[in-house]
Structure 1
Amino acid sequence: MSETLAKHLNAMHAGRRAFIMAETSEKLRRAIRHQVGQRVRYLAADSNDWTKATILSHAGKVTGKYKTWLNIQDDGCDPKSIDWITGVKQWEYEPQDHISDTSLSECNEVFLSVSRQYDKDVLAAKQAELENWKKFKVFEEVSDRGQPSMSVRWVCTEKDVDGETKVKARLVARGFEESHHDRTDSPTGGKEILRVFLSILACKNWKCNSIDIKAAFLQGENFQRDVYLKPPPEAENVDKVLWKLNKCVYELNDASRVWYFTVRTFLLKLGCVQLKADPAGFYWYNEGILSGVLLMHVDNFIWGGTRAFENKVVAKIRSEFQVGQQCSGAFKYIGLQVTQDDDDITISQSQYLKNVKPVPINITRACNKLEDCNKTEQENLRSLVGQIGWMSTNTRPDVSYDVLNMSCVLNHPKVENVIQANKCLRRLEIVDSCLRFPHLGDLSNVKLIDFSDASHASLPDGYSSAGGFIIFLVGENGKSCPLAWEAKKIRRVVKSTLAAETLAVSDAVDMCYFLGTVLSEILFHVNDKNVIPICNYVDNHSLVENVHSTKNVSEKRLRIDLAALKELVQEGHVMLKWVKSNVQLADCLTKKGVNTQNLLHVVQKGELCM
């Protein structure tokens, strides 16, 4: 054998090995991406019959010896474990009874059953979606020459809009079939930034508005890589044809990112300034005066500003992109009900709450409080705690500790935890609440006031501590806007109440400084620095004394956290003051059974009197 031939054979073998490894890696990647509850059908290695099954869980660690093993349950059989690489010849996803979407749906939106796919209204919605793809020149038809391609699926939803039922269909790519390793992250406006913007709108007497971009991803910039889709049966001319994409479409891994940069580039061209601390927030100055703000959450924008801002920025957004629903004064934004009147802005989730249901439990079962929950009860409890948690982070700080407490036991819940969750839901239903953002007067005289608290070893495990805070933007007129709050397990096990309080204050000060930096940038064009006064209130005498003392505490590890806090106080970045426990608004964020009326009064009325 000649040396040249040997080299060629070695190269062929190396290429073949690389191909096999790549194929194996792709199979492995898809195998370990299965989600719990997914329906599949597969051909076992020792069988020629298709078997339908449900994915129960991963059988081993993702990085361990059994990373390719899954726990599954064949229809009508007991659960079992199987190596998804060597034990399965072929598999595919089983169509679901209800098609799901990765995005958060509103409470009045439901996914349609596959059995309704041939209904007239569903077919009409699909045709409307295909027309959108053509109108926005999303693809071009090319001959199928064996190019790597992805399949597509329909996501059909039914939604009640002003008493009228509307069907919407989205054609989405099966993004998991693509090997794409570029960046896929894209920012969305944070909850705290939204509240900052609402506070500014209320103080400036600007109208609060929202814009929904229609078929947003289809209006994004053209992208450079080659992506091919197999057209759906509803399209014309599908034989031996592929769609080569010009735009990023739904469920491609980088679709949200491409859309975000499309909007970002356009807003920057119009003279908007991107927030350094939250890239989804933008503000606009006109002749040296703040004249408008805009926050984007994928295809939903909330904005407010002067007439000049509307004419020079918002009007051009309307002309550049095809917009859908536009609202002012009263509307729903990312699941929140936003209402504006002459004096203030309020947000609530009362409509969302109506769709939250308690965990079913009979009287006999409720008497056995210390029994473990069965699988159904555990799943229902997780769902309910998640729904209450969503409300606690957006509009109901008064149940934050309840959510924290319940979250700590979700792995091994008991019947008493189900009862606790149902009681928490009833309290939400009985005590209606909202967040109010009133006029604070001159924005150059506002300050940040924070209440922080902790409870040592108070969580269900018996040794973890709870910490919490709530932060208000307060005007010289005594009015206040709630900007941020939190109730969480303190990041390490601590030895004393002093240590727990110190770590809780540290987290609160971090958030205050973040919010102060954002406000300083928007209101005063000051970058990377906070010029908003910060005052933190605690009900622990020892903490206040230690921060203002030169004496060291005996716990060495705590000295580091106290030193950082002392430095902030000494340099004038933060003021630390003591208050009585009966006026400590964060008390109910860290302890069970504490009255929440004081906190609710402040967030509902927008009045903080110190």
Structure 2
Amino acid sequence: MQNDDNEQVDQNIAPGAAFDNLEQPVGTKENKTKDIPHVGDNIVYKMKENDTWVKAKVVSKGGKSTGKNWAYLNLQDENEDAQVGIDFAKDVQEWRTAQDVDEVNAVVVPQSRHNENQVKHAKQLEMDNWKSFNVYDEILYSGQKLMSTRWVITEKEMNGERKVKARLVVRGFEEENEVKSDSPTVHKESVRLFLAIASTSEFNIHSIDIKAAFLQGLNIQHEGNDIYLQQHDYTDELKQVDRADIKNGIYPEIVGQLHWIATQSRPDLFFDVLDLSTSIQLSEAKTQSKLNKIIRKAKNNSYRIKYPNLESLKNIELILYTDASYANLSDHVSSAGGYVIFLLGQNGKNCPISWSSKKIRRVVKSTLAAEALSLVEGLDACYFVRSILQEMIKLNAGESIPIKCFTDNKSLCQNIYSTKLISEKWLCLDLASIKESVSLGDITVTWIKTSSQISDCLTKAGADFHPLIKVLCTGKGP
């Protein structure tokens, strides 16, 4: 790294020019410029009627930015339990941020004083810290791009004694590489695959979630060699809605909460939420009735999803159940499709990995087309899950986890294993991809009776959801 120690410092301030106490303002705040604190700022302020400084945090605005109360803010004082409302334009004499207060007695030491013994000692302490904390590695220079550094020397009075502090900083603005600023989150399927692997490998599970951003409301429990997942606390917070709630626009919020529960731990609620979210022009009474019905179902049928010990991660399989209902959504044109994916072990036990209930991506002409598109959707999810799983358990080259698909539509099975052309040309393309995977031995598609189709409740109103719950709770197939 290149050190630019001879650079002239703009802040050529002598130590005697430092502010000695809080009464000397860092900067004048003029009301007419609408310069007031921002929400979330930690500040100190004093009212016009006294000279006492008060520490507080800005909690929220008390008026619109363009209204007459533009300067009205709600504060949480450091020594008070209740919030207070203050008009910064009329009532506040002076304010500043907490950072200004912390730095009010610190000054930048000019370049002309950098040869003083106290400054040299501070620089040596900084370099010793860099070395002791392994901040850098020494490498040979071979013409690579360098970033320069500079010394920032400050002097501050502490307990009646002036202390010099040195910081060697890198000029980050010289870095040409783009710094990633996104914050990716893990897929739900990845979490569930990890739970399945953890139970089989007998790992101890500890979950940490910053501000509950992803695992909000999820409770993971380890009992013996099995892992259980539930959202009872989150579900218990749901409350019945009345007509006033619907009028006040709480409807989207409740649907969002129910959708979150359905996607995380309650697949039996999925179609009910889909039906509600796609319903159009419902009366307030009908909307209230549907919402409360789903909320009662969520609270009265709570259960835990079991991730049993599969004993071994060898010879495992992905099991896919798919179903569809033709033109059964509220517009009487769109069809619903659903699937559930399990990871099946040699011991016959299975772990749920993925489930879905959604409107099929295009309007179809027949039940066969709806079932075919639902199978295609489920297979896409299976391929995705398989790619993640094979990377997690590091399969040998050439090995692949088999996928077994089950549908209760006999016509779909017959068309997959037949060379006969069907009349719907668009559907031919979807079936062709399935036929190719079957011919390569990558997947199998098997017909089962409707009584054994556990994904039936993901596509139909009033379908029996207990067979699916039984599998989820016991870890044993239907």
**TM-score normalized by the length of structure 1:** 0.50
Counterparts of 2:234 and 2:278 in 1: how far apart (Å)?
25
Please list every run of 5 or more consecutive structure 2 residues that lacks an aligned counterpart in the other structure. Answer: 1-60, 84-97, 109-177
Cα 1:561–1:207 change in 2 (3 A) is same
Tell me what 1:72 maps to.
none
CA contact (8 A) 2:325 2:370 kept: yes
What do the CA deviations read for 1:492-525 (whole angstroms, capped 9, x no partner)? 0111111111110001001111111111111124
2:203 corresponds to 1:206: yes
- The offset of 1:186, in angstroms, is 2.2
Q: Could you say which residue in structure 2 is the equivalent of 1:397?
A: 267
Counterpart selection for 1:597 from 466, 471, 477: 466
**Correspondence for 1:563:** 432
Equivalent position of 1:41 in the other structure: 64
1:443 aligned to 2:313?
Answer: yes
- 1:562 and 1:93 map into 2 onto residues whose CA distance is 65
The answer to whether the Cα contact below 8 Å between 2:320 and 2:341 also exists between their aligned partners in 1 is: yes
Larger radius of gyration: 2
| Partner secondary structure for residue 473 of structure 1 | strand
Q: Which residue of 2 aligns with 1:468?
A: 338
Contact (CA 8 Å) 1:469, 1:504: kept in 2 or not?
A: yes
* Aligned partner of 2:300 among 427, 430, 436: 430
**Mapping for residues 534-573 of structure 1, pairs under 5 Å:** 534-573=403-442
- Count of residue pairs brought into register by the alignment: 331
The aligned runs of 1:114-125 (5 Å cut-off) are 114=74, 116-120=76-80
Instruction: Say which SS state the counterpart of residue 188 (structure 1) adopts.
Output: coil
Task: Compute the displacement of 1:412 (Å).
Answer: 5.4
Secondary structure of the corresponding residue to residue 444 of structure 1: coil
Q: CA deviation at 1:335?
A: 2.3
Q: Is the Cα–Cα contact under 8 Å of residues 396 and 434 in structure 1 kept in the other structure? A: no
* TM-score, normalising length: structure 2: 0.63
User: SS of 1:443's equivalent?
Assistant: coil
The match for 2:37 is none
Say if 2:226 is the partner of 1:344: yes
The Cα of 1:341 is off from its aligned counterpart by 1.0
Q: For 1:487, what is the secondary structure of its paired residue?
A: strand
Deviations 1:567-590 (A, max 9, x none): 111111111000100110110000
Partners of 2:192 and 2:219 lie apart in 1 by 13
In structure 1, what residue type is equivalent to 2:233? Answer: Q
Given residue 565 of structure 1, which amino acid in structure 2 is its aligned partner?
I
Cα distance, 1:343 vs. partner?
2.6
Taking a change above 3 Å as real, the CA distance of residues 94 and 515 of structure 1, as seen in their structure-2 partners, is: farther
Of 383-392 and 462-471, deviating more is 383-392
Residues 280 and 330, structure 2, Cα contact 8 Å, conserved in 1: no
Deviation at 1:469, TM superposition (A): 0.2
Shift of 1:375: 3.1
Name the aligned partner's letter for residue 587 of structure 1.
D
Paired residues of 1:470 and 1:486 also in contact (CA < 8 A): yes
Distance 1:497 1:440 in 2: 36
Q: Which of 247, 252, 255 pairs up with 1:375?
A: 247
Asked if structure 2 preserves the Cα contact closer than 8 Å seen for 1:457 and 1:465, the reply is yes
Where does structure 1 lack aligned partners over 5 or more consecutive residues? 1-37, 44-49, 53-91, 96-113, 124-129, 135-139, 143-180, 216-296, 301-332, 363-372
Q: How does 1:289-368 map to 2 (within 5 A)?
A: 333-361=215-243
CA shift in 2, pair 1:385/1:117, >3 Å = farther
Are residue 416 (structure 1) and residue 286 (structure 2) matched? yes
**Paired residue type of 1:346:** Y
2:349 matches 1:479: yes
Q: Separation in 2 of the partners of 1:407 and 1:340? A: 35
CA distance in 2, matches of 1:526, 1:352: 41
Cα distance per residue 1:377-427 (max 9 Å; x no partner)? xx2222221111110000000010000000012675542122011011111
Give the SS at the match of 2:195: helix
Q: Name 2:167's counterpart in structure 1.
A: none
* 1:357–1:384 CA contact under 8 A, matched in 2: no
1: distance between equivalents of 2:441 and 2:345?
20
The percentage of aligned residue pairs carrying the same residue is 37
Distance 1:462 1:561 in 2: 23
Any idea what SS the aligned residue of 2:64 has? Answer: strand
**How far apart in 1 are the matches of 2:257 and 2:71?**
28
Cα distance between partner residues in 2 of 1:601 and 1:339: 19
1:187 aligns with 2:167: no
Per the alignment, do residues 94 and 567 of structure 1 end up closer, same or farther by CA in structure 2, a change over 3 Å counting?
A: farther
Query: Is the CA contact (8 Å cut-off) linking 1:470 and 1:485 kept in structure 2?
Result: yes
1:209 is paired with a residue whose SS is: coil
Return the letter of the residue paired with 2:380: D
Does structure 2 retain, via aligned residues, the 8 Å contact 1:203–1:439? yes
Say which structure, 1 or 2, has more relative contact order (CA 8 Å, 6+ apart): 2
Contact 2:246-2:288 at 8 Å conserved across structures: no
Deviations 1:21-70 (A, max 9, x none): xxxxxxxxxxxxxxxxx997254xxxxxx357xxxxxxxxxxxxxxxxxx
